[in-house]
Amino acid sequence: MVFRVLGPLDIEVDGRAVPLQGARQRTLMSMLLLAPDRVVSVDALAEAVWDGSPPATARNQLAICVSALRKTFKKAAGLDDVLVTSHPGYMLNTGEHRIDAAEFEQSAALGREAARAGRPQEACAHFQDALAMWRGPALEGVLAGRVEAEAGRLDSLRCDVYEEYAGLRIGLGQHRQLLSELRAFIHENPLREQAIAHLMLAQYRSGRRAEALGTYRSGRLRLAEELGIDPGPALQDLYELILADAPELGAAAPAVTVSAGPAVPTQLPPPVASFTGRRTEIALLGALLGKVGGGALPVGFVVGAGGVGKTALAVRWAHQVAPRFPDGRLFADLRGYDEEEAPRRPGAVLDGFLRALGVTAPQIPADQNERADLFRNILDGRRVLIVLDNARSFSQIRSLLPGTGQCCVLVTGRDAMAGALAGDYAVESLNLGALDENESAALLARVAGDGRLAADPAGAARISALCDRLPLALRIAAARLAAKPHWSVGTLVRRLEDQRRRLDELSPDERGVRASLRLSYRYLAPGAARMFRLLGLLCVPDFAAWAGAALLDIEPAEAEDLVEELVDAQLLEPLSAGTDGQVRYRFQELPRLFARECAYAEESEGDRRDAVRRVYGGWMGLARQAHRRIYGGDFTVVRNPSALHPLPERLVENLLDNPVGWFESERAAIAALVEQAAQDDGAASYAWGLTSFSVTFFQGGNYLEDWRRCAELSLDAVRRAGDPSGEAAMLHSLSTLDIVQWDYDGARERQGLALRLFEEQGERQGCALVLRNTAMCERHQGDLDRAAGTGRESLENFRAVGDLYGEAYMLGLLAQIELERGEAAVSLQLSAEAIVRGRALGSKRGEAQSSVRLAEALTGLGEGARAEEACRRALELVRESGDRRGEAHALRALGEALWGQDRMAEAESVVLEGLSVAREVPDRFLEGRAAAVLGCLLAIRGDRPGALERLRTAARLFADVGAGRRWRERAERLLGAVDMSGPDGAGGGAGAPPDPEELFALVKP
């Protein structure tokens, strides 16, 4: 399509006119054509269309107008992407279409460039091409005030170009040919002093001195009448020179020189003064030099997000290696991502390169392919460095690549293009990331220019983090500090920490962070753009592509493609695959804030809410399935009313092949999502549901801080929402955590509140869970008889509601209680029954726990071999499921079983392994239990100092974690039994060795 605004508005497709219907469509199209590839807000469009007084329905009427235009273009050209909806309005997507105003400005710029370089004939050719595009006043007939103002700017540019053109022609001796042209121009533009001066000089050089003086007097009179001013100094000076017949007004034309040999272009822009670091990256680019002179052309790619410093790095490296390229250095900004101007066409870039290499204008072919052939021929055998900055696509650079390996090309861009060249060129690709902490601090200090940042290294580090260590953002932040000498570093930190204002702080003008991100966003396909903005609503540190499928309610494969588009656009960062095999992705914080802005601007409140709720439901559905795989069903959790978002069965199977591994990958995301849901009105049930399903994993991985934070946030949320079931569930969860952390008083207080709420709701399974915890508290506080009674009440409730896992667990707990009551035979029977229940459920975790309890009962009955068999089965189960805490329990119990068989060396080795696993979890109580057993084993083999050290460690660990009085007393009694032969308690005397049976009895529960 060809769009013409340099005259009446005109649109053509393949030479056929495209008619517009009415003034409204013409005004709207004019506004968009005056800002190609830039978003024009709905407010600006409404003001133009209705001349400053838009009706209340303006937004809807504009949408109808845009829709009609789209249908027109679809019908005329088969195109549906010319007009694009983009917050906060609409944008004309130029693509490969032509706009005469853009071509006019491009030709004018080439003319000025040639004029500056001392090539007046070439400059005149460009100016002539530019002026030939005009068909009358810009957008003639479009009467909207805003359009007329911008059209006036274009008309003024036309006058400027004509005056420059006329000045060059006078210098080339064409003054006689210009006389009538300049008279006509001044008749239309009587107040243009530069044109008056040109006409005076042309008249004087044509021998018409009196006419020149008359032209001055007429011009002075018009200026006085219409503006009330005198001519400017330049015009007055020219008048005086003409009066005096000054010699410098002679008509000698400048000589046109021709280069005696091939030109050596040096087009590199100056390096950035504040450039910092990047030593590793510069060294990596150095690999290109080793490939110069080989058979294939060396092509390097520096790819990265907007503002990461690609151009600065490329220019710095190019200057460093410039001596290696004695035949010249070419540079072109391809404007692949530019808010003001369209991407440069390869033909125009080739034109500039060829002229820089000494080719005169008449020798440059009009056809782009012919230009590319000539470019390659000229460079054949020459050693030239070519830097192609800000490339949009491979098609934009294809014609700009030489055909010789003597040259070297370095390309910068946001999209990865190296794959398109692989095999044909010697490619080196560098994905440029953020600066490291030291580089960030150095850049901040260099730009800020005073000692404030050096005096506050913590504040400087915080600013670096808030800027994503992105050079563009860091420079802006440091410049703000430099411009505000009365600010402290903390002042800037506080301003940046406000997420609602951070992009504003880092976007002081059109070159700021928001503009850089917008340039990447505007080129996204509609599906990828929606994925980007909806992902910005998630407050998770990282995620897998299936989360995007839930957000958009699409198939996972389609979601993965869209997410990868965002990676290619440098708006997302890929991470290594998680333990579930899924590639994970993350936002830097600034792109996430921009995506969130876009979501709030372009998505309705209902669409935002529905998308986020689908994500909650997707994560919660997977957490539920992971829980079911561990427990064999929906056991040990209270029923949650939240709607789950279904994911394809095959995907779920792949994700949850290893439930513990999946949770390790998702743990941080789940914790963040619980926090988000807890703060989201109406989503409290998702918060407490996710927490409930995740407790097993929080406990198994010893992520107790995550557990507590999730439960407390969820508890606050359900209380605000008036959800008694959720409140009871979270009180129960926190009571379980209290028990794990040995806070029995806190646990009992929560249990009472939770039990009352569950009873009021008729939630018998919740009652069973609370009674189970109560029995555990009573057991640890030494009230074994009461613990047994409460435990059996809990067991009855579990059986009544059909919670098979809860039943199996309670049988195991009762087995433990009976063992501690001295009823080993009863304990053995209960343990065996628990194992049968767990095995029937297919619950490896439940079977393993019960097997360890069975082993302890068998060890207490002196049946070490059977105890060993049970422990080895438990080890097999916990290692299959990745339960490290369970592994520490099983290894300690196996050590005791081996000790009971007098296999002391094996026992010591196994317990040492258990101690190591307990430290890795980490679980200080388990570490203390293993240390106590190991201390006994060391004492038996005569290493009393080592034994005392281990037992003291156990006593300290029991005290540190707040273990019950029973465990602390047991550690003290073991210490007393071992340290019985020396007056200083160091075991240095010659007393009798400790009694193994006594130690064995003391170490057992």
Q: What is the pLDDT of residues 48-103, one digit of tens each?
A: 888 888 888 888 888 888 888 888 888 888 877 788 887 788 888 877 788 888 88
Burial of 279 (0-12, 13-18, 19+ CB in 10 A): exposed
The proportion of the chain whose per-residue pLDDT surpasses 90, expressed as a percent, equals: 31
Confidence grade of residue 991 (pLDDT, cut at 50, 70, 90): low
Mean pLDDT of 414-436: 79
728: nearest Cα among 745, 743, 714? 714
Residue 270 has which token pair?
């100056």
Mean pLDDT of 194-201: 90
For the cut 90, the answer to whether the pLDDT of residue 731 exceeds it is yes
For residue 981, the model assigns a pLDDT of 44
For residue 724, the model assigns a pLDDT of 96
For residue 341, the model assigns a pLDDT of 66
Between 498 and 782, residue with greater pLDDT: 498
Q: Is residue 259 a contact partner of residue 249, using CB atoms and an 8 Å limit?
A: no
Between 981 and 467, residue with greater pLDDT: 467
**Contacts for 244-252 with beta carbons within 8 Å, 24 or more apart?**
245/209, 249/201, 249/204, 249/205, 250/205, 251/173, 251/175, 251/205
Between 136 and 623, residue with greater pLDDT: 623
For residue 760, the model assigns a pLDDT of 94
For residue 992, the model assigns a pLDDT of 62
Confidence grade of residue 734 (pLDDT, cut at 50, 70, 90): very high
For residue 742, the model assigns a pLDDT of 81
The amino acid occupying position 313 is L
Task: Provide the greatest CA pair distance for the chain.
Answer: 134
Alpha carbons 262 and 1001: distance in angstroms, whole number: 98
Instruction: Write out pLDDT tens, residues 566-591.
Output: 998 889 988 876 566 688 999 999 99
520: nearest Cα among 502, 508, 509, 533? 533
Alpha carbons 904 and 917: distance in angstroms, whole number: 20
180 contact partners, CB below 8 Å, separation of at least 6: none
Beta pairing partners, 388: 332, 411
Mean pLDDT of 647-665: 90
Confidence grade of residue 870 (pLDDT, cut at 50, 70, 90): very high
Instruction: Write out pLDDT tens, residues 819-843.
Output: 888 888 888 889 889 888 888 887 7
For residue 610, the model assigns a pLDDT of 95
Q: Strands of 397-546 (E only): list them.
A: 408-413, 426-431, 543-544
Alpha carbons 990 and 982: distance in angstroms, whole number: 7
3-state secondary structure 267-280: CCCCCCCCCCCCHH
For residue 253, the model assigns a pLDDT of 34
For residue 262, the model assigns a pLDDT of 55
Secondary structure of residue 911 in the 3-state scheme: helix
For the cut 50, the answer to whether the pLDDT of residue 985 exceeds it is no
Q: Is residue 852 a contact partner of residue 870, using CB atoms and an 8 Å limit?
A: yes
Alpha carbons 674 and 551: distance in angstroms, whole number: 17
Secondary structure of residue 174 in the 3-state scheme: coil
For the cut 50, the answer to whether the pLDDT of residue 223 exceeds it is yes
Residue 304 has which token pair?
């990265």
For residue 561, the model assigns a pLDDT of 94
Q: Is residue 26 a contact partner of residue 143, using CB atoms and an 8 Å limit?
A: no
Planar angle of CA 171, 105, 309, nearest 5 degrees: 115
For the cut 90, the answer to whether the pLDDT of residue 796 exceeds it is yes
Instruction: Report the mean per-residue pLDDT for the chain.
Output: 86
20: nearest Cα among 40, 42, 1, 47? 1
For the cut 50, the answer to whether the pLDDT of residue 261 exceeds it is no
Mean pLDDT of 126-130: 87
Confidence grade of residue 7 (pLDDT, cut at 50, 70, 90): confident
Chain CA centroid to CA 103, Å: 36
For the cut 50, the answer to whether the pLDDT of residue 481 exceeds it is yes
Alpha carbons 847 and 253: distance in angstroms, whole number: 101
For residue 717, the model assigns a pLDDT of 96
For residue 811, the model assigns a pLDDT of 92
For residue 419, the model assigns a pLDDT of 67
337 contact partners, CB below 8 Å, separation of at least 6: 306, 390, 392, 414, 519, 520, 523
Q: Is the pTM above the cut of 0.75?
A: no
For residue 934, the model assigns a pLDDT of 93
Residue 444 has which token pair?
């901040």
Q: Which of 574-583, 648-657, 852-861 has the lowest mean pLDDT?
A: 574-583
Alpha carbons 279 and 887: distance in angstroms, whole number: 46
Q: Of the ranges 126-135, 198-207, 536-545, 775-784, which is most confident? A: 536-545
Planar angle of CA 920, 924, 929, nearest 5 degrees: 105
